[in-house]
Amino acid sequence: MGSAALVFGVILYGYINFATKANATSPSGIPFIQAGALIALAGLLANSFVIWNALKKMEKLTAREGNVLAAPTTPSNEMLGLQNRIRVSGLVGMVVLIVVVALMVVGANI
């Protein structure tokens, strides 16, 4: 989802600034849009890295515990920590997305 949003944002930026000059942003708004794009890219990479590592660790932990077909048990503390790490990473990603949208809206309206 984040990758698609980033790609469509770059396409929209290119279309507005290069294909249709009538809708181009002013020179004073371009730094805000560029800053938003850079923050979005950094946030996407950091968020993907954290989630990817947590999921790999969860996979190893699940394989180590084995497939238990008995009654469900409570998850281990390590599994709960990994789930919390993914949840926090998602929340941070949402906050970064809000900041990026605010920067780009300000840049587009200047």
Q: Is the pLDDT of residue 8 over 70?
A: yes
For range 91-97, the mean pLDDT: 86
Token pair of 99 as six digits = 């900041």
For 28, the 3-state DSSP assignment is coil
- The residue segments making up the domain with residue 60 are 2-109
55-76, pLDDT tens digit by residue? 999 888 888 776 655 556 777 8
Who wins on pLDDT, 52 or 23?
A: 52
pTM of the model: 0.70
CA dihedral 68, 72, 76, 77 (to 10 degrees): 160
Number of domains in the chain: 1
Q: Is the pLDDT of residue 44 over 70?
A: yes
